[in-house]
């Protein structure tokens, strides 16, 4: 293992493809975040100017400066190419969908993923104006659909949107990266029979994956089935949230996401079984090509995730280099694989799997060769194998830890030990899975030890997860993560050079990281009112500080939707469980006070009242008056005072003009649960009375800082 990396160093001129990758990636990032400024025509013009400047600089400018001009104009050209590809991808994905429901013929392109009451599938429109566009659709859980089915659906398609809740996951950006143009809920549908279309490779892979999972289910069940399917064929449908949390806490999530570890094990098995036993060079070439074909077949069956694309490309390039007797594992090959993936889909650069995969491999290629191997260890192959495995795990951890902390807010304390143990589990499970399928006459006998190995894996991870201090929950900012990588780069780049640049840059980066951490420290919340944008419910959060918060909610599904906010916004900001507002609640703490009363004649709060749906209510907080209107207009002494925010939700059936006349609010907040017809009526009436409008379906959640 070590001999493969002994010569690697990261001086850019020794790895020219890195010099191509950097400006190419910078162009993609610039276009993604400034897509509203740069159009395709502007970027194309910049690219033409750069190419003309590149050519002219070699004839007009003196040789002394021609090299600098070459680097500048080449960089600008590559940036323009990256930006142009990114903008084309964004423009191809974004669609102006009709405002009303429509009829579409779709083909299911992914296996259904079941949730509590629905199932999610990815689909492709097969005909009509929007042919070729990808959708993410939700069907009732009772519908029997599978990959490759063609279905007529009657539904309303919306462009992907975020809810706008604080600290939420960027679902809109994620769907854009996946090429998803629209989402919708399907209640009216009809399967199409009698027509067979040619399946794409992805659809073929999905069908094979479903068959293999069905084969597994005959001999395995529960979480053993879920872990086995995820580790060997990339099917995560059966994984529960509890099991995923255990893997995440101990730093073993990569075991469930097929990547270079899995392909490395599979290819090492192929290498030991066939390639090492073959002396004839031409026969080795044939076997290498066969191995590459098998790798990509496995990748398509597993759904072709970004991490597997990178690994398959790297191993393919490595085998090609071996055939031509060139360097197999290098940063050049890593950069080439990244460029190929980004040319196919520039938005893959923003995929978490892409970033983690390349960060880990780059760290291994760069750091592993400089870790010394003790002479005592080098004498024995077994000790050297353990030493190298531990070093590779250490390098991968250094490369991915900042990103894991930023995206998942997790740092596994026992990650090194756990990952060293997991290598042996992964070998055993993958070998067992191969034997399970290629030896059908011994399937029942192979399933017994394989099932035991899966139980041992689950027990081992549970043991480490339950140890005290098994994981930390850091919350670094994006700037801090970038600066941490800068520190790693500075150390590795200048470790052999005694220059003042390194200590000065280190001090500056460290100072900025400390400043960022202090600026974003916990217990910094100021009083605010948050109108959450929830699916299936409504909620208003009155926050005085982290310890003192109050919540009004309405709708049976509001609690389930709030559970996601609890794990993001509340947990990150250390917000305690809020007090549920009930009839007659009155609290005064310091300068903050909150008064809650219903707009109907309800009795005082009792245990039985907690089970009832909240009625229309008036809430006073920090001299701001909020009315949550869920029913008919109610006339009470509380409702006639100045209203700052009138929050209209599903259930109100009165006349909007009369309600606005009665309450005279400064701002109208329209819940996303309100139907399109009533939303339009409220907007028209509010504009006539010059009332500020906040439509949560269009602008997301509303945060009012007090």
* Distance, CA of 703 to CA of 289 (rounded, Å): 57
Q: What is the pLDDT of residue 85?
A: 92
- Nearest to 210, CA basis, from 199, 198, 197, 195: 199
* Distance, CA of 485 to CA of 481 (rounded, Å): 6
For residue 59, count other CB atoms closer than 10 A to its CB.
7
- Nearest to 44, CA basis, from 75, 70, 83: 83
pLDDT (average), residues 453-457: 92
- Give the rounded percent of residues in the chain with a pLDDT score beyond 70: 87
pLDDT (average), residues 7-31: 77
Alpha helix (H) residue ranges in 542-655: 558-565, 571-572
* Distance, CA of 693 to CA of 668 (rounded, Å): 5
For every residue of 151-182, which 3-state class applies, written as one string? EEEEECCECCCCCCCCCCCCHHHHHHHCCEEE
549-554/579-580 β-pairing: parallel
Q: What is the pLDDT of residue 342?
A: 92
555 backbone φψ class: left, alpha, beta (φ>0; ψ -120 to 50): left
Q: How far is CA 550 from CA 54, 611, 625, 695, in A?
A: 62, 18, 14, 23
Q: What is the pLDDT of residue 496?
A: 62
For residue 693, count other CB atoms closer than 10 A to its CB.
15
Q: Tokens standing for 63?
A: 């040789």
pLDDT (average), residues 122-147: 88
CB 384 within 8 A of CB 214: no
Q: What is the pLDDT of residue 472?
A: 83
**Does the structure show a pLDDT above 90 at 136?**
yes
Q: What is the pLDDT of residues 395-453, one digit of tens each?
A: 888 888 899 888 888 888 888 888 888 888 888 899 899 999 988 888 888 999 999 99
For every residue of 190-216, which 3-state class applies, written as one string? EECCCCCCCCCHHHHHHHHHHHHHHHH
CB 419 within 8 A of CB 220: no
- Nearest to 256, CA basis, from 400, 426, 424, 392: 426
For residue 613, count other CB atoms closer than 10 A to its CB.
11
**Does the structure show a pLDDT above 70 at 601?**
no
- Nearest to 331, CA basis, from 322, 344, 318, 342: 318
- Nearest to 270, CA basis, from 296, 297, 288: 288
pLDDT band at 104 (very low <50, low <70, confident <90, very high): very high
Mean pLDDT of the chain: 81
DSSP code of residue 613:
P
pLDDT (average), residues 8-20: 67
Q: What is the pLDDT of residue 198?
A: 63
Q: Give per-residue burial for 3-33: e unless 16+ CB within 10 Å, then b.
A: eebeebeeeeeebebbbbbebbbebbbbbbe
- Give the rounded percent of residues in the chain with a pLDDT score beyond 90: 13
pLDDT (average), residues 330-347: 88
Q: What is the pLDDT of residue 611?
A: 34
Judge residue 421's burial from the number of C-beta atoms within 10 Å of its C-beta, 0-12 exposed, 13-18 middle, 19 or more buried. middle
| pLDDT winner (highest mean) among 77-91, 229-243, 589-603 | 77-91
**Does the structure show a pLDDT above 80 at 673?**
yes
CB 412 within 8 A of CB 247: no
CB 40 within 8 A of CB 355: no
**Does the structure show a pLDDT above 50 at 606?**
no
586-589/188-191 β-pairing: unpaired
pLDDT band at 607 (very low <50, low <70, confident <90, very high): very low
- Nearest to 197, CA basis, from 149, 153, 152: 149
- Nearest to 48, CA basis, from 85, 82, 81: 81
Residues 6+ apart with CB under 8 A from 632: 616, 652, 653, 654
* Distance, CA of 304 to CA of 205 (rounded, Å): 9
Coil, strand or helix: which one is 632?
coil
> By mean pLDDT, which of 209-213, 261-265, 434-438, 631-635 is the weakest?
631-635
* Distance, CA of 21 to CA of 242 (rounded, Å): 39
Q: What is the pLDDT of residue 371?
A: 85
Query: Please, what is the Cα angle at 92 between 87 and 96, to 5 degrees?
Result: 115
> By mean pLDDT, which of 152-156, 216-220, 296-300, 469-473 is the weakest?
469-473
pLDDT (average), residues 340-359: 89
Residues 6+ apart with CB under 8 A from 222: none
Residues 6+ apart with CB under 8 A from 621: 529, 542, 550, 592, 593, 594, 595, 706
**Does the structure show a pLDDT above 50 at 603?**
no
645-648/624-629 β-pairing: parallel
- Nearest to 510, CA basis, from 527, 486, 535: 486
pLDDT (average), residues 92-117: 86
Q: What is the pLDDT of residue 5?
A: 43
Residues 6+ apart with CB under 8 A from 85: 28, 342, 343, 346
Q: What is the pLDDT of residue 649?
A: 86
DSSP code of residue 568:
I
Task: Please indicate whether residue 186 or residue 276 has the higher confidence score (pLDDT).
Answer: 186
- Nearest to 311, CA basis, from 269, 257, 381: 257
pLDDT (average), residues 556-573: 82
Place of tokens 């709060």: 605
* Distance, CA of 135 to CA of 155 (rounded, Å): 12
Q: How far is CA 308 from CA 77, 358, 595, in A?
A: 30, 11, 55
Model confidence, pTM: 0.82
* Distance, CA of 52 to CA of 550 (rounded, Å): 63
Q: What is the pLDDT of residue 605?
A: 33
**Considering just the CA atoms, what is the radius of gyration of the chain in Å?**
29
* Distance, CA of 585 to CA of 604 (rounded, Å): 9
């Amino acid at each position: 293992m070590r001999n493969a990396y002994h010569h690697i160093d990261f001086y850019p001129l020794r790895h020219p493809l890195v010099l191509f990758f950097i400006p190419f990636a910078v162009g993609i990032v610039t276009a993604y975040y400034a897509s509203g400024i740069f159009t395709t025509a502007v970027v194309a013009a910049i690219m033409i100017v750069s190419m003309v400047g590149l050519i002219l600089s070699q004839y007009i400018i003196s040789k002394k400066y021609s090299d600098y001009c070459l680097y500048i104009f080449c960089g600008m050209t590559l940036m323009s190419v990256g930006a142009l590809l990114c903008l084309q991808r964004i423009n191809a994905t974004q669609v102006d969908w009709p405002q009303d429901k429509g009829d579409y013929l779709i083909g299911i392109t992914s296996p259904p993923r079941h949730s509590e009451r629905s199932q999610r599938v990815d689909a492709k429109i097969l005909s009509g104006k929007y042919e070729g566009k990808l959708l993410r659709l939700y069907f009732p859980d009772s519908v029997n659909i599978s990959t490759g089915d063609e279905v007529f659906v009657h539904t309303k398609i919306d462009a992907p949107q975020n809810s706008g809740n604080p600290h939420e996951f960027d679902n809109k950006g994620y769907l854009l990266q996946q090429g998803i143009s629209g989402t919708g809920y399907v209640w009216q549908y009809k399967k199409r029979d009698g027509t067979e279309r040619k399946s794409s490779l992805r659809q073929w892979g999905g069908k094979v994956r479903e068959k293999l999972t069905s084969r597994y289910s005959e001999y395995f069940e529960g979480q053993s089935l879920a872990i086995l399917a995820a580790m060997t064929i990339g099917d995560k449908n059966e994984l529960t949230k509890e099991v995923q949390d255990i893997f995440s806490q101990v730093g073993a999530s990569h075991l469930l996401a097929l990547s270079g570890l899995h392909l490395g094990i599979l290819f090492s098995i192929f290498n030991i079984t066939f390639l090492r036993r073959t002396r004839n060079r031409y026969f080795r070439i044939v076997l290498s090509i066969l191995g590459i074909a098998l790798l990509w077949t496995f990748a398509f069956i597993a759904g072709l995730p970004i991490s597997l694309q990178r690994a398959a490309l790297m191993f393919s390039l490595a085998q090609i280099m071996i055939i031509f007797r060139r360097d197999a594992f290098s940063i050049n090959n890593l950069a080439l694989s990244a460029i190929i993936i980004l040319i196919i889909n520039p938005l893959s650069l923003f995929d978490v799997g892409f970033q983690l995969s390349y960060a880990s491999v780059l760290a291994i290629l760069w750091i592993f060769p400089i870790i010394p191997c003790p002479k005592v260890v080098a004498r024995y192959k077994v000790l050297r194998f353990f030493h190298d495995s531990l070093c590779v795990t250490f390098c991968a951890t250094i490369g991915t830890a900042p990103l894991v902390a930023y995206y998942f807010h997790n740092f596994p304390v026992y990650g090194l030990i756990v990952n060293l143990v997991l290598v042996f589990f992964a070998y055993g499970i993958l070998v067992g899975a191969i034997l399970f399928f290629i030896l059908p006459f011994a399937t029942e006998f192979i399933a017994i030890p394989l099932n035991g190995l899966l139980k041992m894996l689950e027990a081992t991870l549970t043991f480490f997860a339950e140890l005290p201090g098994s994981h930390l929950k850091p919350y670094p900012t994006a700037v801090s993560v970038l600066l941490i990588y800068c520190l790693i780069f500075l150390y590795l780049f200048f470790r052999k050079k005694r220059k003042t640049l390194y200590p000065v840059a280190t001090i500056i980066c460290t100072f900025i990281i400390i400043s960022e951490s202090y600026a974003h420290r916990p217990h910094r919340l100021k009083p605010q009112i948050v109108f959450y944008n929830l699916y299936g419910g409504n909620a208003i959060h009155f926050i005085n500080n982290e310890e003192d918060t109050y919540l009004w909610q309405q709708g049976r599904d509001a609690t389930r939707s709030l559970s996601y906010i609890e794990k993001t916004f509340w947990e990150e900001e250390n917000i305690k469980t809020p007090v549920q507002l009930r009839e007659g609640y009155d609290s005064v703490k310091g300068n903050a006070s909150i008064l809650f009363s219903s707009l109907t004649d309800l009795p005082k709060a009792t245990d039985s009242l907690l089970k009832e749906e909240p009625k229309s209510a008036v809430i006073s907080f920090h001299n701001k008056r909020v009315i949550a209107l869920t029913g008919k207009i109610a006339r009470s002494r509380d409702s006639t005072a100045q209203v700052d925010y009138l929050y209209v939700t599903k259930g109100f059936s009165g006349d909007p003009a009369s309600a606005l006349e009665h309450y005279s609010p400064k701002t109208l907040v329209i819940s996303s649960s309100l139907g399109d017809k009533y939303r339009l009526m409220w907007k028209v009436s509010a504009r006539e009375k010059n009332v500020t409008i906040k439509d949560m379906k269009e602008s997301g959640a509303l945060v009012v800082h007090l």
